Structure 1
Amino acid sequence: MLETTTDPNALLEVRNLWVEYNTPTGSVPAVAGVDLTLAKGEFLGVVGESGCGKSTMLFGIAQLLNPPASVTAGEVWFKGQNLVALSAKSLNHLRWRDFSVVMQSAMNALNPVHTIGHQFKDAIKAHAKWSETEIRVRSAEVLELVGIDPVHLKSYPHQLSGGMRQRAMIAMALLFTPDLIVMDEPTSALDVVAQRSLMAQIKELQKQLGFAVIFVTHDMSLVSHFSDRLMVMYAGQVVELGTTRAVFDAPAHPYSKGLLDAFPSIRGEKKRLTGIPGAPPNLGRPPTGCRFHPRCPVAMDRCIVDEPELYQVGAVQARCLLHEPAAQKVEIES
């Protein structure tokens, strides 16, 4: 009997995922043992600084890695199938129909020499045998879903604004109404107003169509009101995972707290932004023990040698020795 997901309610289950880059100086683990479960219709935000493995993890889940990157261990179960074990042909059958990917830069993802309608048509023809009329009708429908006039099916990417190009990519991802859409920083090139508008539209589409979302960003404040759960990544590892409200109200990991302290609040008294000193480590030579200890304001001597696991802390899980069950509980300074 084939092994499947252990959670019958899970749409996606990632188990001990490792992604490594093969470099001239050796193997570099960019994603180190990530586990996550995503329910149907759930919105999961993934946050962290640049270089922490967020996008690599996303591409590992979607099986879109190119050499020198590859999945070296772990499983990605999606609707009862292990994507890591599937052939390229089987994966191509699932992509767009069952799960879609919205890339970081729509201008690079969209072909500049073809109209939006032509690119929608190519995506549909690669996965279904629809008539010209069916293609035209569905293409117009998905553009209207994201608030773009279907007249722009005749437009080229350079004739659209940045926000419209991103929404056109989301429309393309919705052509077959997939169960999962993974998004790699789709708002990074947009201004603050356009970011908020696009996030609200994604959330509204999710409620309307019922698909699940994995949304990767480096901006914690961007997903604060839109994600159901939040995953915080640092140096290729998950350092905190829980409901978005729980993470924002009482961050259990010093790194999560540092990220939150780096963003200004529009409420309460004025506070100096502290940020996090230093930079993420070289993943080819990660620090011993806790990977965050060189930058951590509450690091202990044992953090240098003891590698923490994910410990349950109320409504969240945190990879910090302060929360080790056998250890003495120490409050993270506020």
Structure 2
Amino acid sequence: MSGASILEVRDLSVIYPGAGGTVSGPVGAVDRVSFDVHEGEFVGVVGESGCGKSTMLFAIARLLSPPASITGGSVTFRGDNLVTMADRQLNLLRWRNLSVVMQSAMNALNPVTSIGAQFKDALEAHGKFTAAQVRERSVEVMDLVGIDPVHLKSYPHQLSGGMRQRAMIAMALLFTPELVIMDEPTSALDVVAQRSLMLQIKELQRQLGFAVIFVTHDMSLVSHFSDQLLVMYGGQVVEVGPTRMVFDTPSHPYSRGLLDAFPSVRGPKVELTGIPGSPPDLAQPPEGCRFNPRCPVVEGDCHSVEPELYQVGTVRSRCLRHNPERAGTVEVSS
């Protein structure tokens, strides 16, 4: 991306202490994750359920609930480290510069308060506004997301799922932040509503210029909308790079497996293949590469040597087959 970097995540790690999985011990939900987000960039984060996507997102926004805690790394937003920032400073930053759209709008919105009243609460919690200014801004953001402002008087249960999600996005845009973090905002919607919402988000991005981190388990959903793609597995980033490069020439066997699990609407018919096995127990992850028990191209040292993120053209891949210390690299193909 040509724009300046607004968010720099470096070696971010999150642990849930106590019992987890098959043993009693800490669960490393996020393990040394690093990436950048640039001005106006759309960053997709994909992977199976339980791979650490949402935990990473909440760690970035400092919204983790106990007993989860950040145990290492930094999250730098416009030069300020959010990990070490005091709550008072964070409250000034949230909504105005950085906002979050939760996964389930029905659960995130207050069911006994009208949409307009919730917008009013958010505005007044982060600034001083007259009643007329609150009304004017609320109408503006409802218009932005394509909802008739008459629904400011509606309660969440009176709106459809798609309208509730758009109302959540409208609330996130009340202060026109530079970065909007979205945690699977389309997961409860049908495919038509999903596409409509994605087009709406991209149009709002074009109009307002904010950057997006978009977490989803659906690779196909971000294929045409994201600029950069992070593929997560077992709490780690296993591949990161320009979205088109990851889709056209995936460098990690897990990325290839995710792509092969989704049907294409173009080209010849091909048999869909799933990824055998289950994601690792993060309380006791496998030695070496975390994907080795399920990998179709696993080799001897994959069971003992933990791979780094190796540069492969314009992407980085956490696969020993791309280790530059080896004689050559091997393309992961279907």
Bin of the TM-score, shorter chain as denominator length:
over 0.9
Partners of 1:15 and 1:265 lie apart in 2 by 35
Partner of 2:14: 19
Q: Distance in 1 between matches of 2:286 and 2:141?
A: 47
Counterpart AA for 1:126: A
Mean Cα deviation higher: 124-133 or 18-27? 18-27
The 3-state SS of whatever aligns with 1:86 is: coil
SS of 2:293's equivalent in the other structure is helix
What corresponds to 2:195 in structure 1?
196
Aligned partner letter, 1:71: I
Identify unmatched segments of 5+ residues in structure 2: none
CA distance in 1 between partners of 2:226 and 2:71 (Å)? 29
Per the alignment, residue 174 of structure 1 pairs with 173
Q: What code does the residue aligned with 1:315 have?
A: T
Q: Give, in angstroms, the shift of residue 9 of structure 1.
A: 2.3
Tell me how far apart the structure 1 counterparts of residues 207 and 3 of structure 2 sit (CA, whole Å): 23
Instruction: Give the distance between the partners of 1:73 and 1:90, measured in 2 at CA.
Output: 20
The residue number in structure 2 matching 1:305 is 304
- The separation in 1 between residues aligned to 2:213 and 2:152, in whole angstroms, is 27
Paired residue secondary structure (2:12)? strand
* 8 A contact 2:110–2:118 mirrored in 1: yes
Q: CA deviation at 1:333?
A: 3.6
Indicate how the Cα distance of structure 1 residues 225 and 174 shifts in structure 2: closer, same or farther if over 3 A, else same.
same
CA RMSD of aligned residues (A): 1.1
Q: What per-residue deviation string (whole Å, max 9, x for no partner) do you get for residues 34-90 of structure 1? A: 001111110000000000000000000000001110101111000111001111111
- Distance, in Å, in 1 between the alignment partners of 2:95 and 2:3 is 23
Deviation of 1:332 (Å): 2.3
Q: Match for residue 136 of structure 2?
A: 137
Give the SS at the match of 1:85. Answer: coil
Deviation per CA, 1:135-180, whole angstroms, max 9, x where unpaired?
A: 0000000000000000000000000000000000000000000000
Cα distance between partner residues in 1 of 2:47 and 2:32: 16
Aligned to 1:213: 212
The answer as to 2:279 corresponding to 1:317 is: no
Q: Give the TM-score, by structure 1 length.
A: 0.97
Measured in 2, the distance between the counterparts of 1:35 and 1:281 equals 21
Equivalent residue runs for 1:65-104 within 5 Å:
65-104=64-103
What is the DSSP-based 3-state SS (H/G/I as helix, E as strand, rest coil) of the residue aligned with 1:267?
A: coil
- In structure 1, the residue matched to 2:183 is 184
Q: Offset at 1:330?
A: 2.7
Alignment partners' CA distance in 2, 1:67 and 1:325: 40
Q: Which residue of 1 aligns with 2:330?
A: 330
Partner Cα separation in structure 2 for residue 265 and residue 87 of structure 1: 47
Question: In structure 1, what residue type is equivalent to 2:331?
Answer: E
Matches of 2:159 and 2:25, distance apart in 1: 43
Give, as a single letter, the amino acid of the residue that structure 2 aligns with 1:30: A
Once residues 192 and 97 of structure 2 are traced to their aligned partners in structure 1, the CA distance between those partners, rounded to angstroms, is 31
Task: Work out the number of aligned pairs and report it.
Answer: 328
Q: 1:229 corresponds to which residue?
A: 228
Q: Residue type matched to 1:149 in 2?
A: D
CA–CA distance in 2 between the matches of 1:330 and 1:85? 41
Q: What is the match of residue 44 of structure 1?
A: 43
Per-residue CA deviations over 1:213-236 (Å, capped at 9, x if unaligned) read 000000000000000010000000
CA distance in 1, matches of 2:196, 2:331: 38
- Large movers: runs of 4+ above 4 Å: none
Per-residue deviation at 1:331?
A: 3.2
Question: Could you say what secondary structure the match of 2:240 adopts?
Answer: strand
Partner of 2:112: 113
Q: 2:251·2:331 contact (CA, 8 Å) conserved in 1?
A: no
Q: Supply the AA of the counterpart residue of 2:163.
A: M
Task: Determine the C-alpha separation between the residues in 1 that align with 2:97 and 2:232.
Answer: 26
Structure 1 gap ranges (5+): 1-6
Match of 1:3 in 2: none
Q: Secondary structure at the match of 1:171?
A: helix
Structure 1 counterpart of 2:33: 34
Residue 107 (structure 1) shift:
0.1
The one-letter code of the counterpart of 1:177 is T
How far the C-alpha of 1:8 sits from its partner, in A, is 9.7
